[in-house]
């Protein structure tokens, strides 16, 4: 990753990128929706393909000079079909949220009923949460997890039968167990709904045959390309054989929803990087990498349990772990996230099922293993990381957010100052840095 031209032409931007490179090299990245792409993907993403405008689809463009882009996009589409065993693929969505909005545009009319997992229970914003367009333009009927933290399939079926939704989502942003695609497919068939599987978090695991594949049960699959796929920040929408059997025009409806329905010209440099990521996924090394993601996740979860850290569902089936901090008090997610961040461990605060606090001050922490597995960390390192996390939680367990919102700003200023000067936190920073140095990230960056 050479930045010599940028360094000369814009030293300010170069300096910021360099600082971010140093941050990524020197912290433990545990946010489960983040990963580190290969240098080949960085090259494709930063290529001259960013210069070309390509509204339309292969061999159906509105601009001239797209013969090479047609070849590139067709290559990405064919690779995605092979990797995910689907009939139709659109690789143009700019990100996951617009990809999901395109699904609504292709399958629903404004006011139609839709179903998705409730956001505080681990669902995604675009699956019908109240502040999102998916709830503003459609009638959202959320389903939930049960008291054990698993999707309540009995409730899903009851809600579907009672409301006859046009579209049902199965997918999540903070759900640590295998998604029951087959059961959702049966429910959707029973009520005549479109069934869309959002596999953004688990796409790489599905491609590696480490998680049930939804392609036989659903009509539409959406995914981002930057999580367990380990590609650029983009997205794909896929139509399955079952989807075409339900609606032979579904592929064209999806394509028209993306362009011209929601977007203009695709980001060709991202299409190239997606194609490269898909090629990497076809290699045996990627399947081994995916296996290690899960081994690491299970090892980290078990190590945390042994340190008396409570986990939602008491474990994990995938790349993700959800820490329940309610034994230490409610609303401690932000406190722990900030303390971990100061210690060199990047996580994100997250709601837990039946959270006693608000989404901005939730009672959980979401962590995952894709990025640290990319750095070749394995089970022994998970033991160390669990110890770091446990030590940090114990250092801040006695800090409690004031119930009065007016007092919280003053509390957080004082808290950040005290934690920055905390002897134990400083000790963990040193240990984290040493661990990161043993597993370097980008060796050729300058």
Q: Which of residues 281, 316, 345 is at a domain's end?
A: 281
pLDDT at 2: 72
φ and ψ at residue 257, rounded to 5 degrees: -70, -40
Q: How far is CA 370 from the centre of its chain?
A: 10
Domain that holds residue 418: 295-438
Q: Half-sphere exposure of residue 22, counting CA atoms within 13 Å on the CB side?
A: 6
The tokens describing 184, both together, are 């959702």
SS3 166: coil
In a domain, 38, yes or no: no
Task: Answer whether 425's CB lies under 8 Å from 419's CB.
Answer: yes
Helices 284-306 and 379-396: angle between axes, nearest 10 degrees: 40
The catalytic site residues sit at: 53, 55, 198, 224, 227, 233
What does the block give as tokens for 23? Answer: 């941050």
**pLDDT at site 162:** 98
State the CATH number of the domain containing residue 122.
Answer: 3.40.640.10
Say if residue 403 is in the same domain as residue 276: no
Position 406 scores a pLDDT of: 85
Sign of CA dihedral 216, 218, 224, 227: negative
Say yes or no: 193 and 276 in one domain: yes
Q: Which residue is listed with tokens 């912290």?
A: 27
Q: Are 315 and 176 in contact (CB under 8 A)?
A: yes
Query: What does pTM read for this prediction?
Result: 0.95
**pLDDT value at position 106?**
98
Length of the chain: 446
Q: What's the pLDDT at 373?
A: 98
- Pairing verdict, β 348-350 and 56-57: unpaired
Q: Give CA–CA dist 18/358, Å, rounded.
A: 36
For residue 28, being part of any structural domain is answered with no
Using DSSP, state whether 140 is helix, strand or coil: strand
24 lies in a domain?
A: no
In the chain, the number of structural domains is 2
Give the distance, in angstroms, between the CA of residue 12 and the centroid of all CA atoms in the same chain. 30
- Going from the first residue of the chain to its last (446 residues), give the mean pLDDT of each consecutive group of 10, the final group possibly shorter: 86 96 96 97 97 97 97 98 97 98 98 97 95 95 96 98 98 97 98 98 98 97 98 98 98 98 97 98 97 98 98 97 96 96 97 91 97 98 98 95 86 91 95 97 70
Structural domain contains residue 380: yes
Cβ-contact 122, 353 below 8 angstroms: yes
d(CA 225, CA 434): 31
Q: Is 313 helix (H, G, I), strand (E, B) or coil?
A: helix
Q: Which two structure tokens, joined as six digits, stand for 371?
A: 């990025």
Same domain, 424 and 303: yes
Any bridge partners for residue 311, and if so which? 323
Does 423 lie in the same domain as 314? yes
Radius of gyration of the chain (CA): 22
CB 275 within 8 A of CB 75: yes
Residues 334 and 415 in one domain: yes
Return phi, psi of residue 77, to 5°: -60, -50
Rounded distance, CA 68 to CA 76, Å? 13
Task: For residue 18, tell me if it sits in a domain.
Answer: no
| CB neighbour class for 193 (10 Å; exposed up to 12, middle 13-18, buried from 19) | buried
Q: How many CB atoms lie within 10 A of CB 248?
A: 9
pLDDT of residue 1: 61
Residues 186 and 301 in one domain: no
Question: 3-state class of 408 per DSSP?
Answer: helix
The CA dihedral of 312, 313, 314, 320, to the nearest 10 degrees, is -70
C-alpha 130/C-alpha 136 separation (Å) is 7
Which of 254, 281, 308 delimits the end of a domain? 281
Whether 47 contacts 55, CB under 8 Å: no
CA distance 130 to 119: 9
CATH number, domain with residue 314: 3.90.1150.10
Q: Are residues 195 and 224 in the same domain?
A: yes
Peptide bond into 260 cis (omega under 30): yes
Q: Are residues 266 and 324 in the same domain?
A: no
Residue 35 within any structural domain of the chain: no
């Amino acid at each position: 990753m050479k930045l010599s031209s940028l360094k000369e032409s814009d030293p300010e931007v170069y300096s910021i990128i360099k600082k971010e490179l140093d941050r990524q090299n020197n912290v433990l990245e545990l946010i489960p929706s983040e990963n580190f792409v290969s240098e080949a993907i960085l090259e494709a993403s930063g290529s001259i393909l960013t210069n070309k405008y390509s509204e339309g689809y292969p061999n159906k463009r509105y601009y001239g000079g797209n013969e090479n882009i047609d070849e590139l996009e067709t290559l990405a589409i064919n690779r995605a079909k092979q990797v995910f065993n689907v009939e139709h693929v659109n690789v143009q969505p700019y990100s996951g949220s617009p990809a999901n909005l395109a699904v609504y545009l292709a399958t629903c009319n404004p006011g139609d009923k839709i179903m998705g997992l409730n956001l505080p229970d681990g669902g995604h914003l675009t699956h019908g949460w109240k502040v999102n367009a998916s709830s503003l333009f459609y009638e959202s009927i959320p389903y939930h997890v049960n008291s054990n933290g698993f999707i309540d399939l009995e409730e899903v079926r009851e809600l579907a039968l009672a409301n006859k939704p046009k579209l049902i989502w199965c997918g999540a942003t903070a759900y640590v167990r295998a998604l029951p695609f087959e059961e959702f497919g049966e429910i959707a068939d029973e009520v005549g709904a479109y069934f869309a599987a959002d596999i953004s978090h688990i796409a790489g695991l599905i491609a590696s045959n480490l998680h049930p594949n939804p392609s036989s049960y659903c009509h539409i699959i959406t995914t981002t390309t930057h999580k367990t796929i380990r590609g650029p920040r983009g997205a794909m929408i896929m139509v399955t054989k079952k989807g075409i059997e339900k609606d032979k025009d579904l592929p064209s409806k999806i394509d028209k929803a993306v362009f011209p329905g929601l977007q203009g010209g695709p980001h060709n440099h991202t299409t190239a990087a997606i194609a490269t990521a898909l090629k990497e996924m076809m290699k045996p090394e990627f399947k081994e990498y995916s296996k290690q993601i899960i081994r690491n996740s299970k090892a980290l979860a078990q190590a945390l349990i042994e340190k008396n850290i409570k986990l939602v569902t008491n474990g994990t089936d995938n790349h993700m772990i959800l820490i329940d901090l309610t034994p230490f008090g409610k609303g401690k997610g932000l406190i722990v996230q900030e303390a971990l961040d100061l210690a060199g461990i990047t996580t994100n605060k997250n709601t837990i099922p039946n959270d006693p606090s608000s989404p901005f001050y939730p009672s959980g922490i979401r962590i995952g293993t894709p990025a640290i597995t990319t750095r070749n960390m394995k089970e022994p390192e998970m033991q160390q990381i669990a110890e770091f996390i446990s030590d940090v939680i114990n250092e801040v367990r006695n800090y409690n957010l004031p119930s009065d919102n007016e007092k919280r700003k003053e509390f957080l200023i004082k808290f950040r100052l005290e934690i920055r000067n905390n002897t134990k936190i400083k000790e963990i920073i040193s240990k984290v840095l040493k661990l990161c140095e043993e597993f370097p990230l980008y060796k050729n960056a300058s």
